[in-house]
């Protein structure tokens, strides 16, 4: 559901607002991209790719900060990653943007209603920040203690697990680091930082793990009185008198084993490794090509949308900036308010005339035009009558030039004032402007047929044409 950025009404399938007429085609595209990133974040969150979901949702909010669904989901993702402070921040922002019927209320209330949980969140933040400070002070042992306290309060705090793993890695406690990183992957399976740390840990563990296991398999330990006896596994004492035969059998067996390994095991293993490497390379290449194409596509979309967004901002500035629609509407409202307070028709009429000269009335909203016409129809007839009375006196006292100016104002403020229009023609005739007199008489005949003014105008026109 989309709403117009100008009037707030619900948008239809058209590229313009059916209420205010605003062009919303670009605006719809921006909202569509934001919703696309929201859906992408929702899918990633569903498969526990929390860091990927957070990245998609943040991108969606860059296009539309008012996407309440994306902001609430981002808060849930942060909360699931153990970052309750960031989650609360997103929900509070969401609540301020959309106070009514917002599920963020429920999330915030659940935390606030549980004083123990709220206190745990505060303690988690303080202890984590303390651990960071200890790391910067090179007090890494104390930082490890702080991080353990943090994780006892909030076992899902990924950043704390990652920092603790990093400290273990620095101390070359690889197995402990691995345990912390696996806890991270249980929460967020595609966290890039976690995966980088895990790769380093696995590289450090693999050679040592192999040696350790061989040593464990090759020897057994047992207690004999006060001594620990270490004895190779599966080693039998040689039979007496069979020393030479035993040695010979061992040599033969060794030769056969080496030959079998060389001719059978090694080629098969090499072939298998090559096949696996080729398959891996092919897979990575395909994935890389697909991702590259997708990245290029998204970059093109982003570039296009960036231009669209700039155009939209320019359009919005036309509404909200200096001299924009909103400012002009406010000026009209101010004129109406001042007229209601002072009832000074002349001042109001001058300001209306000035405002009409500054704007394109055809491009203004229907509500603006209705308000303008309402004021003009309220002020115009009264002002026209006043100017007519004054112009009438000027005409009959022979001040024709003054009468022309005054009667023109009377006609301008009320085109339906037939008396003013007829006497304007009379003033033209008396001042010797025959052409304008005839033109004005024609307007009287056209606009007010079957009236006394029309009959007199026709009489004057015929006399002028005859003379």
- For the chain, domain boundaries: 120-232, 325-466
- pLDDT band at 231; cut points 50, 70, 90: very low
445 pLDDT above the threshold of 80: yes
| 78-99 residue pLDDT tens | 888 888 888 889 999 998 988 8
pLDDT reported for residue 252: 63
The residue that leads in pLDDT, 366 or 138, is: 138
Q: Do domains 120-232 and 325-466 have the same CATH topology?
A: yes
Report the CATH architecture of 120-232: Alpha Horseshoe (1.25)
Can you tell me the distance from the alpha carbon of 367 to that of 11, in angstroms, rounded to the nearest whole number?
18
Confidence grade of residue 384 (pLDDT, cut at 50, 70, 90):
very high
Residues 7-59: tens digit of each pLDDT: 777 777 777 887 787 887 787 788 888 889 999 989 988 888 898 889 999 99
CB-count burial class (<10 Å; 0-12, 13-18, 19+) for 8: exposed
Q: Residue 359 carries which DSSP code? A: S
Q: Which H or E element spans position 442?
A: helix 434-447
C-alpha distances out from residue 48 to 104, 189, 195, 343, Å: 21, 6, 14, 68
For residue 11, count other CB atoms closer than 10 A to its CB: 20
325-466: CATH topology is 1.25.40
Q: How confident is the model at residue 138 (pLDDT cuts 50, 70, 90)?
A: confident
Least trusted range by pLDDT, from 106-110, 274-278, 383-387, 431-435: 274-278
| Number of residues written out for the chain | 467
Q: How confident is the model at residue 246 (pLDDT cuts 50, 70, 90)?
A: low
Q: Is the pLDDT of residue 221 over 80?
A: no
pLDDT recorded at residue 214: 39
Largest CA distance in the chain: 163
Give yes or no for a contact between 467 and 437, defined as CB atoms under 8 angstroms apart.
no
Determine the Cα–Cα distance for residues 191 and 143; give it in Å rounded to an integer.
Answer: 23
Contact 216, 233 (CB under 8 A): no
Confidence of residue 374 (pLDDT cuts 50, 70, 90): confident
Check residue 284 and give its pLDDT: 62
Residue 433: pLDDT over 80: yes
Residue 404 has pLDDT above 90, yes or no: yes
Alpha-carbon torsion 256, 259, 260, 265, what sign?
positive
Give pLDDT, residue 429: 94
Residue 358 has pLDDT above 90, yes or no: no
Helix (H, G, I), strand (E, B) or coil at 276: helix
DSSP classification of residue 157: -
Instruction: Report phi then psi at 238, rounded to 5.
Output: -70, 145
pLDDT in tens, 265-324: 555 555 665 666 667 666 665 665 666 667 777 777 777 776 776 776 665 555 555 555
Instruction: Determine contact, residues 367/333, Cβ cutoff 8 Å.
Output: no
Among 444, 415, 417, CA closest to 428? 444
Specify the pLDDT at position 1. 62
| 221 membership: H or E segment, kind and range | strand 219-224
Residue 379, Cα to own-chain centre: how many angstroms?
47
How much is the pLDDT for 303?
73
What pLDDT is stored for residue 346 in this prediction? Answer: 81
CA distance 354 to 358: 7
Q: What is the pTM of this model?
A: 0.40
């Amino acid at each position: 559901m989309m709403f117009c950025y100008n009037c707030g009404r619900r948008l239809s399938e058209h590229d313009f607002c059916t209420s205010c007429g605003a062009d919303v085609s670009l605006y719809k595209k921006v909202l569509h991209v934001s919703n696309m990133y929201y859906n992408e974040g929702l899918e990633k969150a569903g498969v526990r790719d929390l860091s990927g979901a957070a990245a998609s949702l943040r991108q969606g909010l860059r296009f539309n900060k008012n996407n309440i669904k994306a902001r609430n989901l981002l808060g849930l993702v942060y909360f699931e990653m153990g970052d309750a402070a960031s989650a609360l921040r997103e929900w509070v922002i969401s609540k301020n943007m959309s106070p009514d019927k917002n599920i963020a209320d429920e999330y915030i209330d659940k935390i606030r209603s549980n004083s123990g949980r709220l206190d745990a969140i505060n303690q988690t933040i303080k202890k984590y920040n303390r651990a960071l400070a200890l790391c910067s002070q090179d007090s890494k042992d104390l930082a490890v203690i702080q991080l353990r306290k943090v994780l006892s309060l909030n076992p899902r705090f990924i950043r704390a697990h990652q920092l603790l793993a990093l400290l273990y890695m620095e101390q070359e406690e690889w197995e402990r680091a691995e345990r912390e990183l696996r806890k991270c992957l249980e929460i967020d399976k595609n966290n890039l930082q976690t995966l980088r740390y895990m790769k380093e840990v696995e590289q450090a563990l693999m050679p040592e793990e192999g040696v350790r296991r061989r040593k464990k398999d090759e020897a057994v330990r047992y207690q004999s009185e006060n001594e620990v006896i270490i004895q190779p596994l599966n080693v039998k004492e040689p039979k007496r008198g069979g020393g030479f035969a035993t040695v010979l059998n061992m040599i033969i067996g060794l030769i056969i084993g080496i030959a079998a390994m060389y001719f059978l095991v090694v080629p098969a293993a090499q072939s298998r490794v090559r096949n696996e490497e080729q398959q891996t390379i092919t897979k990575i290449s395909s994935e890389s090509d697909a991702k590259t194409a997708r990245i290029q596509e998204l970059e093109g979309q982003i570039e296009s949308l960036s231009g669209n967004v700039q155009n939209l901002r320019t359009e919005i500035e036309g509404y909200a900036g200096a001299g924009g629609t909103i400012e002009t509407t406010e000026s009209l409202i101010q004129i109406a308010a001042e007229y209601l307070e002072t009832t000074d028709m002349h001042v109001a009429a001058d300001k209306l005339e000035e405002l009409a000269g500054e704007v394109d009335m055809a491009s203004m909203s229907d509500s603006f035009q209705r308000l303008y016409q309402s004021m003009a129809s309220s002020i115009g007839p009264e002002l026209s009558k006043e100017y007519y009375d004054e112009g009438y006196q000027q005409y009959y006292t022979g001040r024709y030039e003054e009468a022309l100016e005054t009667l023109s104002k009377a006609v301008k403020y009320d085109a339906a004032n037939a008396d003013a229009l007829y006497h304007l023609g009379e003033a033209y005739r008396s001042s010797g402007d025959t052409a304008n007199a005839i033109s004005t008489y024609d307007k009287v005949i056209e606009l007010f047929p079957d009236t006394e003014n029309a009959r007199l105008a026709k009489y004057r026109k015929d006399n002028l044409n005859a003379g």
